[in-house]
Amino acid sequence: MRRRLREHVGKNGVWRNENTHYARVSLSSVLGFALGARNAGFHDFLVQGEMRAALLYLEKQLIPWDPRYKARGLPPEQMAGVCERSAHSGIVAKALAATNPEFSAEMQWAWNQQDNSVHLPNPFVRGFENVLLDKSLPEATPKWQSEGFPNVSVVLRNGLGTTDESYLHLSIRQFGNYYLSQPGGMTIYARGKPLALLFSSEYTACTAEDFLTNSVGLAHTPGNKSHRAANRGGFGGGHIERVSALPRQDYASAEFELSGPNVIAPHFKEKIKPLSTPWPALLKTAGGTARYKRQVLFVKGAGKGDATYFIFRDSVKGGQPTVWNMWSLSRKLGATRDTKNIEAFLADAPGARIAGARRLYGDRFTAVGQFDVDAEYYVSLPEDTPRQTVRWGVRANEFQDLLHLQRTDDGDYFVALFPRRRHEAAPTFASLAAKRIIKVSGAFGTDYCFVSPRRSTASGEGVHFTGMAGTVQDRADGLVLALASRGEVSYKDHKLVANDAASMTVEDDKVVLAIARNGSAKVVATVSLPDGKSLRSSGAVHPVKMADGSYRIVIPQGVREVTLTQ
């Protein structure tokens, strides 16, 4: 038992050998042995160590509560059930209720959120549900934050357990063609609703093709069933470069190979479904391999209902034509100007039917959501290549509209995705600093979002960045300057320089400094304030005034946030 756990469980609880569905299958059998060992007094695998970490890893992948299924489940992927739920967390909750009530309550919450599922994909502990589960146990909402699961997935989340919960799951690992993995694929929820999804399978349909995935892919035209089975896309796997989590900004970057061809196993070939016709036309098709870096900037508001959105920058190298796909769980997608009269725009919405490709024009597009949350898209890059949409689906509650972009050369896709409730006004967007900054403005204020394909400097409208990524949020509730990694940012005579991911929030007479939650080493920050304002000490942290009037602040190891007074 110990040997198997050491071999199969990696950092942050990652189940190394299998995707989340099969990790649950394997852990069902391991869980039976763990309970037996615990009850017999041999060893308690649930208190700490690899077993507990692996169980927690799976629960941390859970999507927000989905109105289609009235529950949470695993994010959609091939080999997984639709909104797949299980009893694992409920069993752990009861087992630890007396000895570790805090962790038990969090696991009980996870089980309750999965509609108290009694499903266990392996028979080792089946038949004992009445003994192993208890719906009456106390629950507590976990304090899970955004984090990476080494080279398997990244989960960005905000507002866990609220009706405004946001979530992004980024797949990283290529587990092999049997698992039909989709590295680079994203599942997105916003304002508590499903927004952009991978298509689910549950062994009834094969949807693991690159043009059905929210990712970058090599440009190729789908052929007949045999052709599609022989080349489902260039899913070469990836690795996480960086994840940083701050109170108002999270960031992830990962590198992916576009190689292939990846095949669809014979037992899945007959489950390939017909596509919409015509499919989006391509300027050129790829004839080789490529790679790309996916950067995701997650901009978060201060509280429930505040503007919270995503910025994507996908930088492609390899000299091959590529496409950028984003599927929206919407009623219809079109140019934003055409959605001003929403009733007229939706008059010909196709519902649960596929629809062929349509050309789109401009850089602003709106996907009218199925649950009163719309997705506003702004395409900063590429500028002059065709935009198209097509509608496709298999399940009646999972028909989606595609935003399809393409490039024939190396370069970047730079796109903002801003979710909003139907009654809220859409923001305005603009590009600055040679397409390295996206400006987002609305009733909430003005934000500047900087994402660069490499470390660089970018300036515009009084904002200045140096580094890879960062944000300025100039909002009614205060000013936030944030860096995703080492760099500097300045705006309106406020400046932050740091040797790692950090943020500075200015509210009234307070300055709050925060460092990335996964940071372990000390962070050295330099802060400048307007009008010669001074900073006073807070606890063990003492700002040191420099000759230029700035303050040098050392945030020691283990400290995540410091509040200073002006």
**What one-character-per-residue DSSP string does 193-209 give?**
EEEE-PPP-TTS-B--S
Does 80 score more than 80 pLDDT?
Answer: no
* pLDDT tens figures, 234-272: 998 899 999 999 999 999 999 999 997 788 888 888 899
Return the pLDDT at 520. 58
CA dist 476 and 459 (Å) reads 23
Q: What's the average model confidence in pLDDT over 107-127? A: 89
Q: What angle is formed at CA 154 by the lines to CA 33 and CA 329, rounded to 5 degrees?
A: 105
Does 290 score more than 80 pLDDT?
Answer: yes
Q: Which of 82, 357, 327, 312 lies closest to 214, judged by CA?
A: 327
Here the tokens at position 376 are 């506003």
Overall pTM > 0.95: yes
Does 519 score more than 60 pLDDT?
Answer: no
CA dist 502 and 482 (Å) reads 6
Radius of gyration of the chain (CA): 24
* % of the chain with per-residue pLDDT over 70: 99
The residues near 320 (Cβ < 8 Å, ≥ 6 apart) are: 218, 219, 258, 286, 287, 288, 289, 290
Return the pLDDT at 345. 98
Return the pLDDT at 509. 87
Return the pLDDT at 543. 92
21 membership: H or E segment, kind and range: helix 20-39
Does 540 score more than 80 pLDDT?
Answer: no
CA dist 314 and 215 (Å) reads 9
Q: For 235-239, 326-330, 480-484, which range has the lowest pLDDT when averaged over its residues?
A: 235-239
Return the pLDDT at 216. 98
Q: Which of 480, 421, 492, 486 lies closest to 449, judged by CA?
A: 480
CA distances from 120 to 18, 29, 55, 124, 130 (A): 17, 9, 13, 9, 13
Q: Which of 458, 512, 441 lies closest to 248, judged by CA?
A: 512
The separation between CA 29 and the C-alpha centre of its own chain, rounded to angstroms, equals 30
Does 124 score more than 80 pLDDT?
Answer: no
Here the tokens at position 291 are 């790679």
Does 492 score more than 60 pLDDT?
Answer: yes
Whose structure tokens read 């080792």? 124
Q: What's the average model confidence in pLDDT over 338-347? A: 97
Report yes or no: 389 and 334 within 8 Å, Cβ to Cβ: yes
CA distances from 148 to 11, 172, 174 (A): 10, 10, 16
The separation between CA 36 and the C-alpha centre of its own chain, rounded to angstroms, equals 37
Q: Between residues 338 and 536, which one has the greater pLDDT?
A: 338
Q: pLDDT tier at 518 (50, 70, 90 boundaries)?
A: low
* pLDDT tens figures, 83-92: 999 999 999 9
Q: Give the Cβ contact number of residue 435 at 10 Å.
A: 18
CA dist 102 and 106 (Å) reads 7
| Half-sphere exposure at residue 194, Cβ-oriented, CA atoms within 13 angstroms | 29
CA dist 504 and 60 (Å) reads 28
Q: DSSP letters along 273-298, please?
A: PPPPSSPPP-S----S-EEEEEEEEE
Return the pLDDT at 176. 72
Question: Which of the 8 DSSP states describes residue 329?
Answer: -
Q: What's the average model confidence in pLDDT over 290-310? A: 96
